[in-house]
Structures are given as structure tokens and as C-alpha cells.
Structure 1
Amino acid sequence: MRVEFIGLMTILLGAILVFAPVRHSFTWMMLSTAFGAAAAIALPGMGGASILVPNLFLLFFVLRVFMAFGEGQIFAAVSPSRAGFILLVLTVFGLITALFFPRLFQGMTETMIVERSVGLRNIISLVPLRASSSNITQTVYAVGGLVAFASTFAFFRRAGAHEDLIKAVLVTATVTLSFALADIVTYFTRTEYLLGFVRTANYALLTAAEKGGLKRISGTFPEASAFAGYTLVLFAIIASLWLEGVRGRAIGPLTWLLFIALLFSTSATGLIGLAIIVPILFLRSLFWSPADRSRQPALFIAGSVAAAPLIVFLVLATLPGFSAGVAGFFDEMLFSKVDSQSGQERAEWNAVAYKTFLDTFGFGAGLGSARASSFVLVLLSNIGVLGALLFALFIWSVLSLKPAVGSSQPNECGAAIRAAKMGILAVLVTASTSGTVYDLGLMIYILAGATTALTAPDPRRARASASNTMSLHERRT
């Protein structure tokens, strides 16, 4: 076992936050998810696997929540009446498939899995189905997602408020954009080593790639696609808040900066995600209009969309050389993607995953046994039809949640809930187009836990809040 420098910093910070207010721990928990290429601890004994910063910090967050509220609220997150129960059943089912399915169907099919070569680097190989270290790591990640959901639920159920979610997202977005800028500056100044402390993962890091003469932004992630997928989630959340008039002065500029970062990431994942998320946000803004918010953001976007064709026409007419370069750029990034080596490899992954699904009679090869280039095929090839249905039911149960009838929560809380749902949707959009493994990261489970808790706050908190309000009113009168 080898502890990286950033791992030591994570342990030190986690130890300090154990004795700090629990709200600080949640902010740092969400922020830690931005370090997608930072391995805190390397485990050579497990085939070169590593523990990433967010997974390590999760232990301290769980400990802090347990110290603050005990185990009762954590277990309440997975009670049969809540979405967490479905996630618990899904996780247990995934564990069973990881233990038994690779042995049950061993040799009956072939799968794409990650193997370690000389030097403990990752390679993707087509091999006969068998138990591997990926079954262990993906199961651990699945359990981590369940724990993140339950801990976040407990925090928001007892102490957290929608302001904590908004604050954490704003901090995370600011840090993500800062590292994106640092990525560009260090690349062109040949000082990439300055970001080496956040790029310690043992898998291939494509952090110095260009596309069409532009630096592909990777920030704190191993490649531009991962950066774009994560940034899309932040954009969906913050743009949703902005369109509802929440903290417009701070959130408006941040929304546009995230949008620009997605464009300059030169990632097909980011562009496809924007093409799906932006229309959803725009249509929701047009057809959902509470009386107490300004419609200026929506009107501004409508004007921008209407003016876009004119801007494009002027650019094409006045800068033919630039337009030719842009056309070549998009052809390389999107239209010729399928014919590229990467596109052909990912198509092969999907074909193999689908064959694995058929060869295992729809049961799947076991959690962690197969890799694809679409999360739908990942689910089917790993945990089969039953697992895919459980996952879909969990997502639906979270996205369909609404604040209780007669709830006294402020309108801004409703906006935060809807923004969190947009973030979950953004995760699923990127995963559906480029997800390779079952692990979607901790962000989706943090957002799901927050949504579940904020739609059904603890009655004891509501009574205490009402009592405090009444006492304050009596003192004033």
C-alpha cells in the first residue's frame, strides 16, 4: 500500500473536519468528487487498484454524520418506504452477482475487462468470463454509493438545508473551473507537473491532448470526456437554479463559465450532453413559471437562441478560413467519431457487452465482469434485466419525489430540489453515451440523498423551527 501526498492531505483534512460542524464535512464531501484522477492510496496487492480521494473522504463524512446523529437516521434512509430501500436491494443484488455469476457462467461467454500489465498500467482485454479484481472494486464502489446516499440523507434530514446544497455546488463549480484554467495555463507554459498532485491515478491519463488545435480540458480528471461529463452535471444544477432566479448575481456568470468550459473541453460527451440538457432546461423554464420569480434568464436564453442563426451566418460570411477550421474541428470530433479508432473500439465493447447479455440468458455476467461504452449495456451485461429494472426504479423513485403537501419549505428549497434532479439527469445522459462501468461516481448518490431528504424533512425539525419562530415573534411583541 502506498499513500500519495493528496491522500495524506485528505486524511489530515478529514481528521480535522470530524471535530468541525457537520455542514463543513458535507461541503468538502461534494468538493472531493471533483478529483476524479486523484488516487489517495495505491493498492498494488489488489492488481494495482487504488482508492480515490472521494472514496477515502467518504469514510470521514460517514464518521462525522454518525457522531452527529447516530445510526438511526442513516438506517432511516433505507427504510422500505424510501428510495434508499430500492438502492439497498440493488446493491445487495449486485454483490450476489459479483460473487456467484462469474463462476456460474464461467467460460460460457467473453467479456471486456480491465487487466493490469507490466508496470501496473491498465489495459482492456477480451477474455473468457471469469472472476477478476473488477468484481471486487465495482462492488466496493456500489457499496460506497449506498453509503454516500444514506449519509447525505441523514445530514439533510437532521441538520442540512437547501442552502448547504447550493453552497456546496457553487464551491465545487468554482474549484472545478479554477483547475480547468490551471490545466490550460500549465499546458501552454509546459508546467503540467504542477498539477501532478491531482493526477495520481494508475490508469492512462490523457491530459495533454489537443483537438483541432485546441487544448482538450481535463482539469482534475483523467481525460476531457470525464471532465465534460462532470462539468455537465454542475452546469445542469447551476443553470437550473439560475433559471429560477436563485442568487442570480453569483450563479449567472458561473452558469456561462461552465457552459464555455464544456464547449472548450472539445468532448463529444459534453456537446451531446449540452444538446440534451439545454433544451430540457429551456422548455422547463417556459412551461413552468411560478409567479414569484423573474423570467429574465429564460427570456435572455430565448433571445440568444433566436440570435444564434444570425451570428453563425455572419461568421461564415466574414471569416471563411475560420469557418473551414471549425467545420473540420466538428467533423473530427463528432461526425467522424464513429470511424475513428476510439469509436470502433467502443462499438466493439458494446457488441461484446450485448453478446454477454444474451449468452448469460439475460442474467448478466456479474457486477464488474463486463465493460461497455453505454451505461444501459453496462447494466444489462453486468446485472441483467432484473438489476437494470431495479436501477431504473431507484432513479424513478427519486426523480418523482415532490415536497409534502402543505410543506412550509421556502420556494428556494423547491428550486434546489429541482436543480438536484437536473444534476441526476445529467449524470444519466453522459453515462448513457459514454459510461463504461457500473460506478457512476458519488455525485449522483449525494444528489439523490439530498433530494430524498429535502422532499420529506424530519418532523422534529419542522416543529422545532415553528417553535423558534413563535418564540421570536413573542419576544418582538
Structure 2
Amino acid sequence: MEPTYIGAIVLLAGLIAFRKQMTVMLLVVVVATIFGAASAVNMTALGGSSIQPAVFALAFLAARMAVSPDLLSNGMERSLKDSLLFGLFAFYGFLSAYVFPRLFYHQIELPPTKVISAAAFAVVPLAPSSQNITQSTYLLGTFFVVLATAFIARQERRSRLVAMTLIYLGIAHVVFGVLDVVFATAGLPILDVVRNANYSIVDQTFGGLRRIQGTFAETSSYSAYGLALLVFTTEMWLRGIEERLTGWTSLALAVALFFTTSSSAYFGLGVYGLILGARTIYFPSPMAQRKGFILACFALIAAVAVLTVCVALPAVAELFSRMLAEMTINKQKSFSGIQRGFWVEKAWEAFTFSKGVGVGVGSFRSSSLVSAVAGATGLPGLIAFGLFLYKVLPLHKLSTYQLTGNRTEAVGAAAGWAAIVGLAPAMVSGANPDPGVMFAFLAGLAMAWAPRGQAALAAASSAPAGAASARPEHAMASTSLEARSRPAD
């Protein structure tokens, strides 16, 4: 085990945050997720596998929760119930990583989790590997983040601190992207200082132009991370929370994602655009219509700006259009597209070969979250994970679409949309079944601070004065205890 300088920084941050509220420690983990190509610890015993800073920080979060007097409160019980489905998915995945590679030893050939050959169709016989250990452990860590976030958010309710952290994280994501392009173009790869993990850093140039990757190993990872932050800030702006800051941050993230020329980014932006349009049409409100008009105006201005550049600088326009074509409509014909299609095909082959039980987390590489979950954890994993997603964003509830002005509920609703829509890039590029720490954090917020809707609020406010006495005594006691444990935000 070899600690790194980034690990030392995380250690210092964890020790400082340990004396503060659990929310602060949780946010240390969240902030660390922006360093997607960094390593806090290199595990030499596991083939040099890298422990990411956010995963390393989970140890401090667990220790901070362990000393909390509220650990065994009703809040933890409710959080366990909320995260049960994802827990079943994670624990089944963990067991599958140790059992199925041995059960199906050398009976099927699959793409290795680490690319070891330049050949598009490279495969190796199924066998236990260090990746079964690391990926399944990461999946358990993701479950812990879901549980911890739901518990901490319910107990402390620091919604403003959480929201501002995510907003500034979005700003930092844009800044890192710009610095990456500027420094790399000037021949000063300064951001390589935070790309110290044992990952393959993909060449991100096309026609002499630098593609944006920020603090991540590749453009697709940068885009996927940015999309979740874009959805969150946009949803906050739609609800009128920190309107100016969230609005400009959302716009900056959208521009950054556009210039990544990443097919994953364009797919995610397209999905979210369709969702926004459908919500404006089918769930109209004065606020939604006003914000929808503003979005339409920005889209029109962007289109005019692009056309102006095409006319004024035809050489730049030709290069950029060729880049867009290669990353979108011609993607399936490229080497990368053919290889990714092959990985998805082999993942579904693993699903059918194993009779729907999976061949184990960490046993192969895919290029779609759905196929990765199916091939690794089979039908049990697909069902548990799918039901959990619906729990995070219950589409049948009207409150999911209402633009509530309550800050805490607004953060919960924004987090729910960001968690689900943020998975869109992974649907077309996800290499393994783990949705990641940021998804887990957003999902936990969504469940803890889910909006109750105007109907529920109206019913609660119009309830007769004696209605409270009809509740069981122990329920009233637990409610008051929980209320006392939540400091004002």
C-alpha cells in the first residue's frame, strides 16, 4: 500500500472535518469526487489498483457517524428502509464477484476490465481477478454513501450548505475544464498533478484541438460528472433558489459540455432537453412557463452565435463540424464505436450464458450501465437497481414535477432529477455496474428531502387541532426528538 500526496490532503481534510457536523464530513467526500483521475492510495498488493480520494474519505465519514449520538435513532431506521433496494443490489454484486468467476471459471471469454490489447475484440477467459475485489468493494462504498447521505440529510438538514457546495463544485468543474485546455495547449500539463492514479489517460486531441477532460482521465468522464451538476443547478434555478448564481452556473456547465464534443454529453443534454420540454407542456405553471421562455431564448441566441461563427470563420467551423460528426453520427463506425458495441454485446452474452444470475462484478468491461448491471449481477441486480431508481424519482407523484419554493424540498427534488438524468451518459458508456459516489449522494438527498407536494402540505396545514392527539405517543416523541436534532439551516 502506497499513500500519495493527494491521500495526505484528504487525510488532513478528514481530520479537520471530524470535529464538525456530519454534513461537513459528507461534503468532504463529495468535493473529493471532482478528482476523478486521482489516487489517494495505490494498492500494490492488488496489481497497483488506485483508491480514489472520495473512497478514501469514506473511512473518515464512517468514523464520524460512529461517534454520533443519533446513530441508532429513527432517522437511521428510515434511511435503512430507503436504501434497502440498493443495499440488496450492492450485496448481491459483492457476493457475485467472489462466487461466479469461480463457478463459471474459463467457461466464457469476456473483455477484460483493464484494456490490455489494442485489438477491438480482445477477450480473456473468465477467472477471478483483483478487479473483482476492487469493483465490488467500490459498489459497497456506493451503498454506504446512499445510506449515510439519507441519514445525515434527515438528521441535520443543512440544505443551504449542501446546495452551495454543489453549485461551487459546478463552477470548479468548468474552471478545471478551461484550465486543462489552456495549460495543455501551452504545453504545460499542470493538471497532471491531480491525475496520479493508475488509469489510462486517453489522448484527448482531434485535428490539433484539445478536448476537455478537466481533472478526469477522459472526456466522457468529465461530461458525465458535469451533466449531473448541470441538472442540479438548472433544477434549482427553475425553483428560484439562488437564482442568479444557479442560472449562470448552469449556463457555464452547458457551454462546457457542448465544447467537450462528447457523444455521452450530447446524449445526456438531449435527454434532459426533452424532459424539460415535456414537463413544461404537461405540468404548466407560471414559473415553469417563464423559465421555459428564458431557456428557449438562450437556445436561440446559442444557435445564432454558432451560425455567426460558421460564416465568419469557415475553417474553424469545418474542423469543429468534422469533430462533432466523428463523435456523434459517425461514432458507431469508428474503432471506438465498434469496440464499445462489442463490449455491450459480450455483456448481454454473459447475462444469457449465466441464465440470468450474472458472472460477477469486476469480471468484464462493458459500455453501458444497463448491460454492465445485467451481465454482472443478472436479473436480481436489474430488478433491485431499477426499483431503487424509481424510488429516487417517483414519476407517478405530482410533487416530483412541482416547482416548490421550499429550499430543502427544492434541493431534494433537484437532487432526484440530477441523480437519474445524470446516469444518461453511463447508459451509453458505463464500463461497470457501479453508478458512483456522486449518484449515491444525490440519491440519498432525494430520498431524505423528497418534496411532499402542495396537496400534502395543504392537508397538513388544514388538519384539525385535535388530529395530532390521534397519533401514537411514541410517534410524537420520535418526531419531536428528530426535530430537536435538526439545527436551523
Q: Residues 466 and 88 from structure 1, CA distance in 2 versus in 1: closer, same or farther, beyond 3 angstroms?
A: closer
2:370 alignment partner in structure 1: 376
Amino acid at match of 1:259: A
CA deviations over 1:277-328 (Å, ceiling 9, x no partner): 122124324544556x575432111234456666666665665545433332
Give 1:151 deviation, angstroms: 1.1
Give 1:367 deviation, angstroms: 1.6
Task: Say yes or no: does 1:179 pair with 2:176.
Answer: yes
Separation in structure 2 between the aligned mates of residue 312 and residue 10 of structure 1, nearest angstrom: 42
Q: Residues 289 and 270 from structure 1, CA distance in 2 versus in 1: closer, same or farther, beyond 3 angstroms?
A: same
Which sits farther off after the overlay, 4-13 or 354-363? 354-363
Give 1:453 deviation, angstroms: 1.4
Give 1:464 deviation, angstroms: 3.9
Q: 2:359 aligns with which of 365, 387, 407?
A: 365
Task: Say yes or no: does 1:446 pair with 2:445.
Answer: no
- Report if aligned partners of 2:129, 2:363 keep a CA contact under 8 Å in 1: yes
CA deviations over 1:60-105 (Å, ceiling 9, x no partner): 12222332345325742554xx331112222221122112111112
Which sits farther off after the overlay, 368-377 or 324-333? 324-333
Match of 2:111, SS state, is strand
State the TM-score, normalized to the length of structure 2: 0.85
Amino acid at match of 2:146: F
Q: 1:221 aligns with which of 210, 216, 223?
A: 216
CA deviations over 1:144-202 (Å, ceiling 9, x no partner): 0111111111211111232233122112112222221221221122111x223310110
Q: Residues 390 and 382 from structure 1, CA distance in 2 versus in 1: closer, same or farther, beyond 3 angstroms?
A: same
2:197 alignment partner in structure 1: 201
Give aligned pairs, total: 456
Task: Say yes or no: does 1:17 pair with 2:14.
Answer: no
Which sits farther off after the overlay, 304-313 or 91-100? 304-313
Give 1:114 deviation, angstroms: 2.7
Which sits farther off after the overlay, 420-429 or 226-235? 420-429
1:329 alignment partner in structure 2: 323
Q: Residues 105 and 238 from structure 1, CA distance in 2 versus in 1: closer, same or farther, beyond 3 angstroms?
A: same
Separation in structure 1 between the aligned mates of residue 337 and residue 405 of structure 2, nearest angstrom: 47
Q: Map 1:44-193; keep pairs closer than 5 Å.
A: 44-73=44-73, 75-77=76-78, 79=80, 82-115=81-114, 125-192=122-189
Give 1:231 deviation, angstroms: 0.3
Separation in structure 1 between the aligned mates of residue 169 and residue 290 of structure 2, nearest angstrom: 26
Q: 1:459 aligns with which of 452, 475, 479?
A: 479
Q: Residues 18 and 453 from structure 1, CA distance in 2 versus in 1: closer, same or farther, beyond 3 angstroms?
A: same
CA deviations over 1:89-126 (Å, ceiling 9, x no partner): 222211221121111122221111235979xxxx9951
Separation in structure 2 between the aligned mates of residue 467 and residue 243 of structure 1, nearest angstrom: 27
- Report if aligned partners of 2:23, 2:158 keep a CA contact under 8 Å in 1: no
Give 1:414 deviation, angstroms: 2.6
Separation in structure 2 between the aligned mates of residue 421 and residue 304 of structure 1, nearest angstrom: 25
Separation in structure 2 between the aligned mates of residue 116 and residue 333 of structure 1, nearest angstrom: 21
Match of 1:338, SS state, is helix
Percent of matched pairs sharing the same residue: 28
Separation in structure 2 between the aligned mates of residue 467 and residue 305 of structure 1, nearest angstrom: 41
Q: Residues 19 and 101 from structure 1, CA distance in 2 versus in 1: closer, same or farther, beyond 3 angstroms?
A: same
- Report if aligned partners of 2:412, 2:450 keep a CA contact under 8 Å in 1: yes
Separation in structure 2 between the aligned mates of residue 308 and residue 264 of structure 1, nearest angstrom: 12
Separation in structure 2 between the aligned mates of residue 363 and residue 466 of structure 1, nearest angstrom: 43
Amino acid at match of 1:136: I
Match of 1:218, SS state, is coil
1:435 alignment partner in structure 2: 430
- Report if aligned partners of 1:2, 1:42 keep a CA contact under 8 Å in 2: yes
Q: Residues 171 and 27 from structure 1, CA distance in 2 versus in 1: closer, same or farther, beyond 3 angstroms?
A: farther
Match of 2:417, SS state, is helix
* Gap regions ≥5 residues in structure 2: 453-477
Match of 1:55, SS state, is helix
Give 1:381 deviation, angstroms: 0.7
Q: Residues 307 and 185 from structure 1, CA distance in 2 versus in 1: closer, same or farther, beyond 3 angstroms?
A: closer
Q: 1:422 aligns with which of 417, 426, 439?
A: 417
1:343 alignment partner in structure 2: 337
- Report if aligned partners of 1:3, 1:42 keep a CA contact under 8 Å in 2: yes
Which sits farther off after the overlay, 282-291 or 157-166? 282-291
- Report if aligned partners of 1:211, 1:333 keep a CA contact under 8 Å in 2: no
Give 1:466 deviation, angstroms: 11
* Gap regions ≥5 residues in structure 1: 469-477
CA deviations over 1:305-364 (Å, ceiling 9, x no partner): 456666666665665545433332222221221111111111111122122222111211
State the TM-score, normalized to the length of structure 1: 0.87
Amino acid at match of 1:378: A
Match of 1:356, SS state, is helix
Which sits farther off after the overlay, 220-229 or 445-454? 445-454
Q: Residues 256 and 231 from structure 1, CA distance in 2 versus in 1: closer, same or farther, beyond 3 angstroms?
A: same
- Report if aligned partners of 2:363, 2:376 keep a CA contact under 8 Å in 1: yes
- Report if aligned partners of 2:409, 2:451 keep a CA contact under 8 Å in 1: no
Separation in structure 2 between the aligned mates of residue 350 and residue 365 of structure 1, nearest angstrom: 14
2:34 alignment partner in structure 1: 34
Amino acid at match of 2:32: S
Match of 1:131, SS state, is coil
Separation in structure 2 between the aligned mates of residue 380 and residue 90 of structure 1, nearest angstrom: 11
Amino acid at match of 1:436: A
Separation in structure 2 between the aligned mates of residue 137 and residue 106 of structure 1, nearest angstrom: 19
Task: Say yes or no: does 1:281 pair with 2:276.
Answer: yes
